[in-house]
Amino acid sequence: MPTFVAGRYFSNQLEKLIIFSAPSGSGKTTVVKHLLEVMSNQLAFSVSATTRSPRPGELDGREYHFLSLDDFNQNVADNQFLEHEEVYAGILYGTLWSEVKKIWAEGKAVVFDVDVKGGLNLKRKFGDQALAVFLRPPSVDVLMERLTKRSTEVEHQLQERIAKANYELSFESQYDTVVVNDILEETFATCEKLVSDFIQN
């Protein structure tokens, strides 16, 4: 396990993290899945833990580790999380140390699909070991359209996500780089180059 010293983690080998954060509906899950497909020999996905219920088609251990609130809090008490946040009212998300160590043991960089605050927490802990990418939509209007089309939330949940998206956009300047997800193929190419350059340097 890496050693934590004066705000940084150190290890005996080059261990890197790629952090993708974005407001809900910005397309980060699509981008992350693409990178994992085309760079499968170099990257592996860190499956986050959450207390929310699975959506249709989601499997425990694939999209998320779905935990009860009691189990999540026990992991917090046992220092099993690198970071954790209450992303929405009553819904917790977190990054498990065990996920990161497993991927590093395979000689791969860890890819995170996390909320904005979680992403910044990881960046602060790992410094230059981490590349923090903020993926944003071309405009808030486009984001609202994407969220509405998804139709996975009732109206009050949709409004909560839109309000949260506006708040999250205010954090983009704290990330290493910002990628505007307008034309998907161009976004793929930009992110592939960013990640490849970071891993090789």
The two most distant CA atoms of the chain are separated, in Å, by: 50
> 58 in a domain, yes or no?
yes
Beta bridge partners of 180: 136
Domain membership of residue 4 (yes or no) is: no
What is the tally of structural domains in the chain? 1
Give the CATH number of the domain where residue 143 resides: 3.40.50.300
Is pLDDT at 7 greater than 70 in this prediction? Answer: no
For residue 11, pLDDT over 90 is answered with no
SS3 state at 97: helix
Identify the domain containing residue 46 by its residue range: 16-200
**Predicted local confidence at residue 172, as pLDDT:** 93
Does residue 1 belong to any structural domain of this protein? no
Residue 33 within a domain: yes
> Three-state DSSP class for 180?
strand
Closest to 26 measured CA to CA, from 160, 156, 144, 123: 144
3-class SS of residue 183: coil
More confident residue, 44 or 2: 44
In a domain, 8, yes or no: no
Hey, CA dihedral for 74, 1, 99, 81, is it positive or negative? positive
Q: Which residues pair with 8 in a beta bridge?
A: 5
pLDDT tens digits along 125-170: 999 999 999 999 888 777 777 777 765 556 667 777 778 888 899 9
Q: Give me the half-sphere count of Cα atoms (radius 13 Å) on the Cβ side of residue 70.
A: 0
Residue 38 vs residue 113, higher pLDDT? 38
The reply to whether 5 falls in a domain is no
Residue 96 domain-assigned?
Answer: yes
Euclidean distance between CA atoms 36 and 78, whole angstroms: 30
**Is residue 10 assigned to a domain?**
no
C-beta of residue 93 within 8 angstroms of C-beta of residue 49:
yes
Q: Which amino acid is at 177?
A: T
pTM of the model: 0.80
**What is the structure's pLDDT at 201?**
82
Summarised one tens digit per residue, pLDDT across range 77-91 is 999 999 898 988 889
